[in-house]
Amino acid sequence: MEAEKKLERMRELHRQLKEAARAYYQENSEIMSNFEYDALYDELLELEKETGIVLANSPTVKVGYEIVSELPKEAHIAPMLSLDKTKDREALADWLQGREGLLSWKLDGLTNVLTYREGALVKALTRGNGEIGEIITNNAKVYKNVPLSIPYKGELVVRGEAVITYSEFERINGEIAETEAKYKNPRNLCSGTVRQLNNEITAQRNVLFFACTLVSMEPELSLATRKEQADFLASQGLTCVEACLVTPGTVAETVGEMEQRLPGNDFPSDGLVLTFNDIAFAESLGRTAKFPRDSIAFKWADETAETELLEIEWSASRTGLINPVAIFAPVELEGTTVSRASIHNVSIMEGLSLGIGDTVEVYKANMIIPQIAANLTGSGTAKPPEYCPVCGEPTTLKEENEVKALYCMNPECPAKKVKSIAHFVGRDAMNIEGLSEATIEKLLNEKLIARAADLFRLSGHREKIVAMEGFGERSYQKLLSSVESARTVSPARFLYSLGVPGIGLSTAKLVCRAFDEEIERVMNAKPEELVAIEGIGEVTAEAFAAYFAEEKNRQEAEELLSFLTLERPVAAAGELPLAGKTYVITGKVFHFSGRPELKAYIEERGGKVTGSVTAKTDYLINNDAASQSSKNKTAKELGVAVITEEEFLEMLGGKEE
């Protein structure tokens, strides 16, 4: 791999790993399994070793992401680092270096840090971003097993995991009628429960806290080993995570024994933690930028199953992209039966050397999404279809950035129409409710619509729509009302609704703002004008101009505009007061419903909002201007003004209502 390609791959790995970590730590969801995350992480680590380059904010050197809840925040007394990991149980023996270790369950919950002072629980923090946590003291006080008072009268700081057991998880989900509203797994439920603003809800969910590490104590007691520390914590009434002493000769066998017990555990665990028992030796090892050297995590592999590949189904999209989907003999994974998995693109299909009849190994990413882990046969006989499976027109194989993808080039392909109209009515576009892909397909099949503009003519087809399966007068009236509401829309949402290549909602806002929200100027924009807009590259600019240069696209846009009233943002009519200014927002806000509303408020007035404080930042908005948060510290180091929300609004002469 050439140096440039390696660097590009590293950037892509950064993006994927950060997206996964943000979803896991901030949104309490999972978009990839540990299996996938570990593989990508190891690939990035290897590329960094090969190139000698570590990009800014690399997942291999920075722990965690910005916390986004409205809970108060506070810095940890010591950074909370991730653990280095292995899936090789034999490697654990070498890691011990001939010493005694303590092996415990790696619980899959939410990390908490509890502080006791003068025998009373005075503070509880979440892990947060590793440096700053959310204060959840009121919630921790109603955990099922946390003592509010302990015998030790000094200051004691202990780290552990808050978890919800499988049985409690099943009980809570059993009380929720709607399938889509049920919680995906115990960790997601626990994370949401621990961070409740109302601790009455927390109390109802029987959260357990398992102490894992004694972080600090003052005055110190003479405790020479981790085992002695655990015994001391237990003597204070804390429930400690189960742990046992091991040696290089017994560690692999003990791991095997614990693995056998895993299915019978009522608490969620995604592996084990091995730490040196001797505290003095452990502390002498120090730490790397990413990991402490005194502990290592052993991760369980994802549950996999072997099965036969029966078919490859090809699924078309609004852009003409046709993705392969593997259909295999049904297998049981993570408690459910699965029989299909997305393959994403032709390159992945070829990389797996797939062929009908092959024996493949499958697993469930995030314990939800079926994926193919490996092909044990590797016949490589599967080929992309020469004709679109929906319209029957010839397909084209394209390669971009070494990724092969299959496309249908027929502009009238029914699949394109369904997906294109579904995009048009989406929440961030025209926001027309009641139009699922299935409903759009019915309307197309009944020839009640042929393109997006026909949605504004549905009032002329009342009898036919009311008679459609799954419809009725009430559904028809709701749909009509939603269509009518969509007739007034901002230029940016309209532009985004068209599905112009490379134009997301944020980019659409940038473009519309640059042309004073005048849609005719936007549609006539030349590539050189677009490139002059910060954030628009040459490829996007060329694709944008080419889209509106095509007569069919232009006519469809103008037809849609004949049904719409474009509502210009508040400050668009005159000079934008925040033009050229860059802001970062952190902490609570009081004059807006949340930070997203404040962000939109700034953008409507010409300003730009970013997630990180840099030398290009003009203002950091933080109502706690004296905070010692990492953003405040960076702002002070760079000479960036830290202002409160009140000061920001005063600069604008007050908030318009």
Could you tell me the end-to-end alpha-carbon distance of the chain, in angstroms, rounded to an integer? 57
Report residue 66 as tokens: 């910005």
Q: What is the spatial distance between Cα 649 and Cα 83, in angstroms, rounded to a whole number?
A: 44
pLDDT of residue 639: 85
Q: pTM to 2 decimals?
A: 0.45
In whole angstroms, give the CA distance from residue 225 to residue 231: 10
**Which residues of the chain are modeled with pLDDT < 70?**
1, 3-4, 7, 23-31, 33-34, 53-57, 61-70, 77-81, 176-182, 184, 287-291, 301-302, 334-335, 365-369, 401, 534-535, 569-575, 593, 625, 654-657
Largest CA distance in the chain: 84
- Written as six digits, the tokens of 219 are 């005055």
Cα separation, 421 vs 407, whole angstroms: 19
What is the Cα–Cα distance from 48 to 476, expressed in whole angstroms? 58
Q: Minimal CA–CA distance to 279: which of 222, 330, 237, 325?
A: 222
Q: Give the C-alpha separation, 292 to 274, whole Å.
A: 12
| Helix or strand (DSSP H, E) at 139 | helix 137-140
Helix (H, G, I), strand (E, B) or coil at 478: helix
Per-residue model confidence (pLDDT) at position 230: 93
Active site residue 106: yes
Q: Which of 73, 106, 419, 608 is catalytic?
A: 106
Q: What's the pLDDT at 27? A: 56
Q: Would you state the pLDDT for residue 544?
A: 93
Residue 397 near residue 379, CB atoms below 8 Å: no
CA distances from 512 to 491, 569, 603 (A): 7, 10, 11
Contact 95, 88 (CB under 8 A): no
Is there a contact between 346 and 327 (Cβ–Cβ < 8 Å)? no
H helix count then E strand count, the chain: 24, 24
Quick one: CA dihedral 50, 53, 57, 61, positive or negative?
A: positive
Closest of 17, 60, 55 to residue 37, by C-alpha: 17
| Residue bearing tokens 């292995």 | 86
Question: What are the two backbone dihedrals, phi and then psi, of residue 328, each rounded to the nearest 5 degrees?
Answer: -130, 165
What does the DSSP 8-state code read for residue 524? Answer: T
Measured in degrees and rounded to the nearest 5, phi and psi for residue 580 equal 85, -5
